[in-house]
């Protein structure tokens, strides 16, 4: 019985991960259609991971993608809690230091993806959804 529960949990986790990966692919496609250059996927640091790092003109964008099925009672954005934001901001700061541009303009975006079955039902880009960094930082020092 315990083995059955472990197997079921493992199957649910795998399905959840596949759903998230599909959401990230759809989000990347949307961002490219909007003219954003994708710099990296799944940038990881000690405080967490950023789903997509992109460049929108002279603005560096740290993008969190939240994917849900329509049966979910809350909006995908609701899953970006204060704790999650803190982790993303710390990870973004590490990214900025790593690329040697700690003072460039940047923002924190969220993309909400709703998938029914495996078909896209809704996708919404929320630029500058939250953050720190003066959407953020010095606009006179753009990302180049």
Give pTM, 2 decimals. Answer: 0.81
**Is the residue at 143 inside a domain?**
no
Q: Does residue 122 lie within any of the structural domains?
A: yes
Dump pLDDT digits (tens) for 30-88. Answer: 999 999 999 999 999 999 999 999 999 989 999 999 998 887 778 888 889 999 999 99
In a domain, 90, yes or no: yes
Domains in the chain, number: 1
Q: Are 111 and 66 in contact (CB under 8 A)?
A: yes
DSSP type of residue 142: -
In a domain, 140, yes or no: no
Q: Tell me, what's the pLDDT at 135?
A: 45
Top-confidence residue, 117 or 26: 26
> CA 92 from chain center: how many Å?
11
The token duo for 93 is 């700061």
In a domain, 126, yes or no: yes
Residue 101 lies in a domain: yes
For 55-66, the pLDDT digits (tens) are 999 899 999 999
Give 74's contacts (C-beta < 8 A, 6+ positions apart).
68
Q: What is the DSSP letter of 87?
A: H
Q: Show the domain range for 74.
A: 2-130
Q: Is residue 89 part of a domain?
A: yes
Alpha helix (H) residue ranges in the chain = 2-33, 82-99
| 142 is a domain residue | no
How many whole angstroms separate alpha carbon 141 and alpha carbon 144? Answer: 9
Q: For position 26, which CATH number holds?
A: 3.40.1350.10
């Amino acid at each position: 019985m315990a083995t059955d529960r472990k197997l079921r949990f493992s199957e649910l986790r795998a399905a959840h991960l596949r759903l998230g990966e599909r959401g990230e692919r759809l989000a990347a496609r949307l961002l490219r259609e909007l003219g954003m250059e994708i710099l990296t996927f799944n940038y990881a640091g000690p405080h967490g991971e950023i789903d997509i790092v992109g460049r929108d003109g002279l603005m560096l964008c740290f993008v969190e993608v939240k994917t849900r099925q329509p049966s979910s009672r809350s909006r995908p954005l609701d899953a970006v809690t204060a704790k999650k934001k803190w982790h993303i901001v710390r990870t973004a700061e590490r990214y900025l230091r790593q690329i040697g541009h700690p003072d460039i303009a940047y923002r924190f975006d969220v993309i909400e993806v709703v998938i029914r079955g495996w078909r896209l039902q809704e996708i919404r880009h929320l630029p500058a959804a939250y953050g720190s960094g003066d959407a953020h930082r010095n606009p006179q020092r753009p990302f180049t």
